[in-house]
């Protein structure tokens, strides 16, 4: 049973067994998903704590439910925590944005962004989310190729094995994906001048 973030293949096995309601796998998955509150707490701290204790607890609960509902999408390309982290980042960004809107509506000072480091983290998270949104728009096996290469750190040979195609074919797929992502992001970028 996978107890630590080491082997994506074992993680995938555990997730599939948990989805099949095997008690040992459910227990192991519960332990691993403790990463959700930990990641969200860390993100909240980096962002200057835009979420109070109660909002953070709500976000943890919502994110866990989201993760559990998406379990069937976990393909085991990378370790479970890497996959969960992307969901956590997305949920944290949304929760923090909601909180900021409430601040603006109530004309309260945006205390969390008075800190320069927090503001920088906020910009990084938005940039990261923009990349992720672009990859989602690329979609399909091309998006998988980008994630495997850059987020899961796989070699082209490993990617070829995972995608069950030849190495030259996976390289061509990766290039198409990168070119498509660049095209999408350039189209969305504000025009200069």
Partner 1 sequence: MTMHPDDTTDDAILAALLAGERDPADPEVAALLRARPRLNDRFQRLRGLAQSLDAAGAGDREQWSAAIAAPTSLDGVAVAATAQFLSGPRRRTRTVWVAAAALLLGALGTFLVLRPPAADEHSTLGVPANLMWPQGETKQYGPFGWRHPLPAEGTFGVRIYTPGGFGRSAPLLVSPALTAGEWHPTPAAQQALPDRIEWVVEATDQQGVPIQTYGPVAVQRVR
DSSP result, 89-149: HHHHHHHHHHHHHHHHHTT---GGGSSHHHHHHHHHHHHHHHHHHHHHHH-HHHHHHHIII
List the one residue from 149, 160, 162, 163 that touches partner 1 (CB under 8 A): 149
Q: Looking at beta carbons only, is 112 or 147 nearer to partner 1?
A: 147
List the one residue from 9, 31, 126, 157 that touches partner 1 (CB under 8 A): 31
List the one residue from 10, 143, 146, 160 that touches partner 1 (CB under 8 A): 146
Rounded-to-integer distance, Cα 3 and Cα 136, Å: 29
Query: How many Cα atoms within 13 Å fall on the side-chain side of residue 135?
Result: 18
Asked if 186 is part of the footprint of partner 1 (rule: CB under 8 A), the reply reads: yes
List the one residue from 75, 115, 151, 158 that touches partner 1 (CB under 8 A): 151
Phi/psi at 31 (5° precision): -65, -45
Asked if 150 is part of the footprint of partner 1 (rule: CB under 8 A), the reply reads: yes
Residue 137's nearest CA partner among 174, 180, 173 is 180
Q: What is the binding site for partner 1 (CB under 8 A)?
A: 5, 18-21, 26-31, 33-39, 41-43, 46, 53-54, 56-58, 60-61, 64-65, 68, 81-82, 84-86, 89, 124, 127-128, 131, 146, 149-153, 156, 171-172, 174-175, 178-179, 181-182, 185-186
């Amino acid at each position: 049973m996978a107890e630590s973030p080491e082997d994506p293949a074992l993680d995938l096995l555990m997730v599939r067994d948990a989805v099949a309601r095997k008690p040992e796998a459910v227990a192991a998955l519960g332990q691993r998903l403790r990463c959700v509150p930990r990641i969200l707490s860390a993100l909240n701290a980096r962002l200057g704590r835009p979420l109070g204790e109660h909002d953070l607890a709500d976000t943890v609960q919502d994110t866990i439910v989201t993760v559990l509902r998406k379990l069937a999408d976990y393909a085991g390309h990378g370790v479970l925590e890497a996959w969960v982290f992307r969901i956590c980042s997305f949920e944290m960004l949304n929760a923090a944005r909601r909180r900021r809107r409430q601040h603006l509506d109530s004309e309260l000072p945006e205390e969390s962004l008075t800190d320069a480091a927090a503001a920088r983290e906020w910009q990084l998270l938005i940039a990261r989310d923009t990349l992720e949104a672009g990859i989602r728009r690329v979609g399909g096996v091309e998006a998988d190729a980008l994630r495997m290469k850059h987020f899961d750190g796989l070699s082209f040979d490993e990617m070829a094995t995972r995608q069950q195609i030849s190495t030259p074919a996976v390289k061509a797929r990766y290039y198409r994906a990168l070119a498509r992502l660049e095209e999408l992001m350039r189209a969305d970028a504000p025009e200069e001048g």
